[in-house]
Amino acid sequence: MEIGVLGFQGSVAEHIAATKEAARKLGISCRVSDVRTSAGLERLDGLIIPGGESTTMYKLCEREGMLERMREVPALFGTCAGAILLAKKIHNEEEGQKTLGLMDIVVERNAYGTQTESFEENLEVQLGPPDSEPVTMSAIFIRAPKIRSAGENVTVLANRGGEIVACGQREGGRFYLAACFHPELSTTLIHEHFLRRLLSG
Ligand code: GLN
């Protein structure tokens, strides 16, 4: 399998390490590299979009002519700013802020407050079938967005106080995964889920 991590901003190295470790745990052979060009997107099975600053990240992808090819990658996983880029709509968009417009979610940027109000807490995440036991993981929220609403075709993986903080969607043969927090900093479980979903494609 060939996985790319968008390499402009954020915890790129941590995402690469978490993906490699997830693949090792699952016994999958997987190449993981950072991607900063449109050519780098060719033949990818999956692309991970890290956190960072969503307006800047979008502009960098636009400048490099990557947007169309990003939309064609079979599976995309966005964390924090990456989840904002996947969303079809931004609730509090800045001056027509654009996204890839792929996932049926409405996100609100910076909805937990300022950078200094960032936090870490344990979260129950449902990564198996609906009746399976959820797993507990530490989740780090860094000036995170909130997912304000989601379409019926979106599967909720984790809630926090009734608000969706991780979810997935299958659409037209593609798979999308969004997390408001930063799993790459504390666990490989979400990366394992992403790879498993990709395999069951
Ligand atoms: N606040 C950032 C944004 O709105 C996201 C923060 C993050 O990715 N950790 O783009």
Tell me: the pLDDT tens digits for 3-57? 999 999 999 999 999 999 999 999 999 999 999 999 999 999 999 999 999 999 9
Please state, rounded to an integer, the average pLDDT across all residues of the chain.
96
Structural domains of the chain sorted by starting position, each given as residue range(s) with its CATH number in brackets: 2-200 (3.40.50.880)
Give the count of beta carbons closer than 10 Å to the beta carbon of residue 134. Answer: 13
Question: Does ligand 1 come within 6 angstroms of the Cβ of 142?
Answer: yes
At residue 15, the 3 state secondary structure works out as: helix
How far is the C-alpha of 115 from the C-alpha of 132, rounded, in Å? 35
Verdict on whether the full-model pTM lies above 0.95: yes
Is the CB of residue 93 below 6 angstroms from any atom belonging to ligand 1? no
- Give the lowest-confidence range in 106-110, 125-129, 173-177: 125-129
Residue-wise pLDDT tens digits, 68-106? 999 999 999 999 999 999 999 999 877 789 999 999 999
Candidates 184, 191, 192, 193; catalytic one: 184
Burial 21-44 (b: 16+ CB within 10 A, else e): ebbeeeeeebebebbbeeebbeeb
The pLDDT of residue 95 is 76
